[in-house]
Amino acid sequence: MASALTADGAAARREPRRTTWLAGRPSAGLLLPVALAIGIAVYAGLDREPAILLIWGAAGFAVLAGGAALWWRRRGTAGLLIAAALACGFAGAALETRLVAAPMLDWRVSAGPVTGQVRAVQPLGQGAYRVVLTGIAGPRLAGRPIPDAVRVRLVSGDGAPPIGSAIRVRAVLTPPSGPAEPGAFDFRRYLFYRGIGGLGFAVGHWQAVDPDPAGSAPLTAPLDRLRLEIAATIRDRADGQAVGAVAAALLTGERRAVPEAVMEALRASGLAHLMAISGLHVGLMAGTVFFALRLALAAVPGLALRYPIKKWAAAAAIVAAFVYTALVGAPVPTQRAFVMTGLALTAILLDRSPFSLRLVAWAAALVLLIAPHSLLEPSFQMSFAAVIGLVAAFERLQQPLTRLSHRDLPMAGILAYLGAVLLTTLVATLATAPFAAYHFNRIALYGLLGNLVAVPLTALWIMPWGLVVLVTLPLGLSALPLAAMTGGIGVLIDWAGWIAGLPGAMLGVPAVPVWSLLAMVAGGLWLCLWRDRLRWLGLLVVLPALAGPASPPAHDVLISEDTRLVAVRDAAGQLRLSSTRRGRFVAEQWSERRAQGPAASWADGLGDPGLEGVGLGCDALGCVYTRNGWRVAVAAARAALDDDCRHADIVIAPFFLDDRFTDRCPALVIDRGTLADDGAHALTLAPAGIAVDTSIADAGGRPWNRGWPGFAEIERPGAAAAQP
């Protein structure tokens, strides 16, 4: 009996601890979007497309498991719901890829006439425009799979064709570029999910032609034309090119006309997010309408005492957010912002708290179901990271801030507001810093200081006046509000320039490994979603992950996929380029991923100790790079190939070579055809051997990679002409 009582007592003592451990766990509703994201990430991490049976099997499991869990509604079904969400994410991402899949150009199309219908017009500033053409045709495309859309830059000063019109233009078309090196940003994948299969530039003036009877203008064409007209009007009427371009960007989303110097200052000061139409702008526009209308209705006692004016204001704010989202073109980040803002305002209509992690979870799940690919894009990651961090901090610190604002202290309300702004800026900066380091390889060290002034300025002055500009523009009464808005923008630009000029304003960060980012995400979610002291265990995951970017990629040789640029690592670990005039965009990415300044060329460094220590010599026929006993020959002419094959371990040739030559060459040959098939190369010359990494490890494994069935192969030179 005593032993039984002892056992029962021990069980009773254990029970509270088990309950305490589980009491702070996140609910299944908060974990469902996490599971959905994991399923999408698993699909994105595959090296080839899954079989269709696996996709439909995952979709079927998601439906059956989710339906069973909802039907039973018993304890233990939360795990079944989470498994269903994971399978749904995997199947949804795979099905989305198959739905949007379309041919992409694989080889350069030389200058020739191209006709198509204008789907979108994008102003670039200085009288330059680029257009997205659909239904394209041309003699050089005949008999080949044709992309659904291409993006072409028009001749500067040529003006923009109307959206929905058909034009003919003589243009050069090129395939979208892949990653600059293994692990870098994949621009080709980015365009794939936007339906753009080729890029180009005009070499002649565009001409209007009769539209194809089978074609039709996009349904959004009138709204797109209105947006471009508003943007052009604001830029023309504003006092100053830079402030006018920024004002147009804030009100219409057309930010490509913002001068690069201004954008660089905004990036260095941590204020670049102000140019991306996202949650901040939609929230400010909706909030301005909500508070202004509620204040106006509250001034009428008969309405304020008898009717739910708060709900009326919330309904009007939803309409305003929708109109603003449509006006800026409804890009994916703005759609996410509208969903989140709309859910928060709907909570007010339903007498619920608009600041809830559950609302954020619903918004994330809805966005991921509609556009699964957005999970991998920085705008999704940074916007939801900021919102999750802010809501979690607000839930825990709301009461202290409320008590401070009600204290009988001088300027208590102002102190509480400044504290809220400081806290908001700090939390958002910390939450988005890992993603800024991963995607952009730099962190604005003074972003907290920059946002401390810029966010209140934007929220309390610039955006409210922007709303007045939009309302008064059709009436011809926008001069005064536009002057007030651009005055605030001028202060914002000057502030950003001052912050960017401070010593060490921008910290370069070497390429962050994927495992490090995933660990920081997992630890951050634990910190935000767990509700008791156990949430601090998330720091045990976050802190070790900070060591991920400690060392840059250690590749010794980099080769761009277009063969125009080769880089080698000198004795100090710095990159040296074959040319500083070609492939500048690729060179910038290589340097940024190693947190080094602009790389010098081989010619600039020949003879200095950094290059002599690794052995780099050049002549008229090419260069030879030696490291750890391995010799890499970079041929500049075909006449050097025979000698390179006899003395080098690796031969890099910026032209196509016949298979008969590569078969009899004992060295590893990387020619233009190899790079076209496998993408950019990164070589590591270790004493024990040579490691070769490519940006397309298995050519054709994913639908946006080269070699996928149906992709256009245009004007690839014949093998016979490639014989050295």
User: How far separated are the first and last CA of the chain, in Å rounded?
Assistant: 95
Q: Is residue 3 predicted with pLDDT exceeding 70?
A: no
For residue 97, report the phi and psi dihedrals to the nearest 5 degrees: -60, -45
DSSP string, 86-146: HHHHHHHHHHHHHHH----B-S-EEEEEEEEEEEEEEEEETTEEEEEEEEEE-GGGTTS--
- The pLDDT value recorded for residue 720 is 35
- The pLDDT value recorded for residue 656 is 87
Same domain assignment for residues 474 and 567: no
Tokens of 470: 């939009």
Contact 226, 177 (CB under 8 A): no
Task: Single out the residue of 278, 270, 321, 109 nearest to residue 201, CA to CA.
Answer: 109
Contact 573, 538 (CB under 8 A): no
Number of domains in the chain: 5
pLDDT in tens, 538-553: 888 888 888 776 667 7
- The pLDDT value recorded for residue 716 is 35
Tokens 């079927």 identify what position? 60
Which one is predicted more confidently, 501 or 338? 501
- The pLDDT value recorded for residue 429 is 85
DSSP state of 573: S
Lowest mean pLDDT among 82-96, 318-332, 597-611: 597-611
- The pLDDT value recorded for residue 525 is 92
Tokens of 510: 């070497």
- The pLDDT value recorded for residue 643 is 87
3-state class (DSSP) for residue 197 = coil
Task: Single out the residue of 627, 511, 609, 606 nearest to residue 183, CA to CA.
Answer: 511
Lowest mean pLDDT among 297-311, 444-458, 688-702: 688-702
- The pLDDT value recorded for residue 629 is 86
H helices of 218-331, in order, are: 221-237, 241-252, 260-268, 279-298, 301-306, 309-327
- The pLDDT value recorded for residue 494 is 95
Q: Are strands 557-559 and 566-569 parallel, antiparallel or unpaired?
A: antiparallel
For residue 131, report the phi and psi dihedrals to the nearest 5 degrees: -125, 155
Strands annotated E in 616-658: 616-619, 622-627, 630-635, 650-652
d(CA 657, CA 643): 15
DSSP state of 269: T
- The pLDDT value recorded for residue 708 is 59
User: Of 449, 476, 508, at which residue does a domain stop?
Assistant: 508
635 contacts: CB under 8 Å, gap ≥ 6: 621, 622, 641, 644, 651, 652, 653, 654
Most confident of 442-446, 482-486, 580-584, 687-691: 482-486
d(CA 582, CA 585): 9
Instruction: Kindly state the average pLDDT of the residues 457-476.
Output: 88
3-state class (DSSP) for residue 572 = coil
The band of 41, judged by pLDDT with boundaries at 50, 70 and 90, is: very high
The band of 39, judged by pLDDT with boundaries at 50, 70 and 90, is: very high
Tokens of 626: 């030696």
308 contacts: CB under 8 Å, gap ≥ 6: none
Q: Is residue 63 part of a domain?
A: yes
Same domain assignment for residues 494 and 529: no
Task: Single out the residue of 137, 243, 297, 144 nearest to residue 469, CA to CA.
Answer: 243
Same domain assignment for residues 59 and 152: no
Same domain assignment for residues 58 and 141: no
- The pLDDT value recorded for residue 559 is 94
Which one is predicted more confidently, 212 or 606? 212
- The pLDDT value recorded for residue 22 is 58
Same domain assignment for residues 240 and 305: yes
* Amino acid occupying residue 560: S
Instruction: Kindly state the average pLDDT of the residues 597-620.
Output: 66
Task: Single out the residue of 385, 378, 339, 381 nearest to residue 362, CA to CA.
Answer: 339
Q: Is residue 705 part of a domain?
A: yes
Contact 325, 334 (CB under 8 A): yes
pLDDT in tens, 214-259: 556 666 778 888 888 888 889 888 887 889 999 988 888 878 888 8
3-state class (DSSP) for residue 577 = strand
Maximum separation of any 2 CA atoms in the chain, in Å: 99
The band of 402, judged by pLDDT with boundaries at 50, 70 and 90, is: low
User: Of 100, 135, 155, at which residue does a domain stop?
Assistant: 100
Percent of the chain residues topping a pLDDT of 90: 23
Same domain assignment for residues 445 and 503: yes
Lowest mean pLDDT among 99-103, 460-464, 662-666, 671-675: 662-666
d(CA 103, CA 81): 37
- The pLDDT value recorded for residue 700 is 55
Which one is predicted more confidently, 724 or 368? 368
d(CA 48, CA 58): 17
Q: What angle do CA 36, 40, 44 make, to 5 degrees?
A: 165
Q: Is residue 86 predicted with pLDDT exceeding 70?
A: yes
Burial of 305 (0-12, 13-18, 19+ CB in 10 A): exposed
Q: Is residue 19 predicted with pLDDT exceeding 60?
A: no
User: Of 75, 100, 125, at which residue does a domain stop?
Assistant: 100
Instruction: Kindly state the average pLDDT of the residues 621-642.
Output: 87
What does pTM read for this prediction?
A: 0.84
Q: Is residue 6 part of a domain?
A: no
d(CA 499, CA 449): 8
Instruction: Kindly state the average pLDDT of the residues 181-205.
Output: 91
Return the bridge partners of 130, or none: 122, 153
Q: Is residue 1 part of a domain?
A: no
Contact 245, 259 (CB under 8 A): yes
Same domain assignment for residues 259 and 383: yes
* Owning domain of residue 116: 109-218
Same domain assignment for residues 301 and 175: no
Task: Single out the residue of 549, 276, 337 nearest to residue 435, CA to CA.
Answer: 549
Q: Are strands 600-601 and 575-577 parallel, antiparallel or unpaired?
A: parallel
Q: Is residue 683 part of a domain?
A: yes
Same domain assignment for residues 501 and 544: no
Quote the distance between the C-alpha of residue 94 and its chain's center. 20
d(CA 188, CA 196): 9
Q: What mean pLDDT is reported for the chain?
A: 82
d(CA 256, CA 119): 17
Quote the distance between the C-alpha of residue 572 and its chain's center. 32
Contact 679, 557 (CB under 8 A): no
Instruction: Write the CA distances from 562 to 589, 602, 671, integer angstroms.
Output: 15, 19, 10
The sign of the dihedral angle between the CA atoms of 44, 516, 360, 414 is negative
Q: Is residue 168 part of a domain?
A: yes
Tokens of 320: 């305003």
Q: To which H or E segment does residue 384 belong? A: helix 378-405
Q: To which H or E segment does residue 520 belong? A: helix 514-529
Q: Is residue 290 part of a domain?
A: yes
pLDDT in tens, 424-440: 888 888 888 899 889 98
Same domain assignment for residues 205 and 328: no
- The pLDDT value recorded for residue 332 is 67
Which one is predicted more confidently, 416 or 108? 108
Q: Is residue 647 part of a domain?
A: yes
3-state class (DSSP) for residue 591 = helix
- The pLDDT value recorded for residue 72 is 76
For residue 77, report the phi and psi dihedrals to the nearest 5 degrees: -85, -10
Q: Is residue 8 predicted with pLDDT exceeding 70?
A: no
Same domain assignment for residues 146 and 280: no
Same domain assignment for residues 251 and 346: yes
